[in-house]
Amino acid sequence: MNQDLDRRQFMTQVGGGLAAAAIVPELARASTWSGREPIRVGVVGAGRQGRAILGELTKLAGAEIGAVCDIDPRRLASGLRRASAAEGFGSLGEMLRKRDDLGAVVVATPTHTHRAVAVEAIASGKHVYCEAPLAHTVEDCLAINSAARSARGVVAAGLQGRSNPVYTLARGFFRSDSVRELVSMRAQRHEKTSWVSPSRDADRYKALNWKLDPEISLGLAGEWGTHQFDVFHWYTGRYPTHVSGHGAIRLHDDGRTVHDTIACTFLFEDGAALQYGATLANSYGGKYEVFCGSNAAIKLAWSHGWMFKEADAPTQGWEVYANRQQFHNDEGITLIAGATKLSEQGKLKEGVGLPNTSLYYALENWLGAIAGEGEVACSIGEAVRATSVGIAAGRAVREGGAVKIEVPSV
């Protein structure tokens, strides 16, 4: 048997066919929407995330941006520049009344406003995609979940790790003997930024900078951490029972009370722990999650993933064909989504890293579910549970102590 055939078998068989499965969603979307009219989408919220969503929707064959909505005229104008054929509106109600041709709505407003917008959009019978974290209180999360239970359309939440092809591939390795017993978990998000949107108008400044308002903001732990904590929930099938936290102002001493640097420790019932750190004051290391097991460690960085095998871990035979990268004294095996197809084309090295953002794949998954191709990667119920962990972590950081995590059974 020649090496090319061995390589193809490795890419098909490793992790029980995981590499092959990783490209199925993308191929399914292409065939589903072929020859069909795209669904018209209205995007509510034209801030930074809303504009990112508009950019990704323009790449997807299954979507046509029909409307953009924002209560801030300047942001609305900015959003419409991303979708020149769309119509602009100042409220969701007006958009729904005047554009009954819309089939779907994306909720990209500030977290504390999600409940009102999502519930109204769901009640209208549209398909709905709601950004994460789901809301800023558990009560609001449960209200959105209640509305979703009676939804006539497909409702999804934007926890992007669950639809990320690299994360899907790596999860298969994690749940096999490749990693074995879980030893420890850690994650971080470092980004040097201020979280400030400037405005000379005091009221507009307050509205734009809601993340710095301690009455409504979940802080770094909730706004950023929720997305990363959910990766650990999804991989392990468990939720932490307690979290302790600490925060400080390390750079942005501008009168804010929402911390620019935090550290959290999550404890699980079986004794496992997750260490998390985030900061607005330094960019080193960026954003990643790490699972350390007795056979290997997996590092995930949203567009890339690597597995680091222990020296005494059993060899499974496929490693000789895998791409590798050197990290100081460690050698990482690159986890490549769609490896089977790339192997057949002789383009494995070109496949290191995703061609699109995690947001792209999350929206693609939702559109595919609307078209009848499988279920949404993240349900509203799952988003309720994940967000409850982020809310608890935010509280632990604010209080500077330990908090018991109550995960709703929805």
CB burial of 155-165 (b: ≥16 within 10 Å; e: otherwise) equals: bbbbbbbbbbb
Q: Is 50 exceeded by the pLDDT of residue 9?
A: no
List phi, psi (to 5°) of 67: -155, 150
Amino acid found at 160? Q
177: which DSSP letter?
T
Query: Which pLDDT score, from 0 to 100, does residue 333 have?
Result: 84
Q: Among 155, 153, 154, 152, which Cα is nearest to 144's? A: 155
Q: Among 350, 334, 332, which Cα is nearest to 342's? A: 350
3-state secondary structure of 374: coil
Q: Is 70 exceeded by the pLDDT of residue 299?
A: yes
| Measured distance between the N- and C-terminal CA atoms of the chain, rounded to whole angstroms | 52
Over residues 16-35, the pLDDT tens digits come to 333 322 223 333 344 455 55
Query: Which pLDDT score, from 0 to 100, does residue 121 have?
Result: 98
361: which DSSP letter?
H
pTM (two decimals): 0.89
Over residues 224-241, the pLDDT tens digits come to 999 999 999 999 999 999
All structural domains of the chain: 3-160 (3.40.50.720), 162-352+379-404 (3.30.360.10)
Q: Is 80 exceeded by the pLDDT of residue 334?
A: yes
Over residues 99-109, the pLDDT tens digits come to 999 999 999 99
Tokens representing residue 352 in the block: 């290191």
The answer to whether the CB of 131 falls within 8 A of the CB of 113 is no
Q: What is the mean pLDDT of residues 372-401?
A: 97
Q: Name the helix (H) or strand (E) containing 72.
A: none
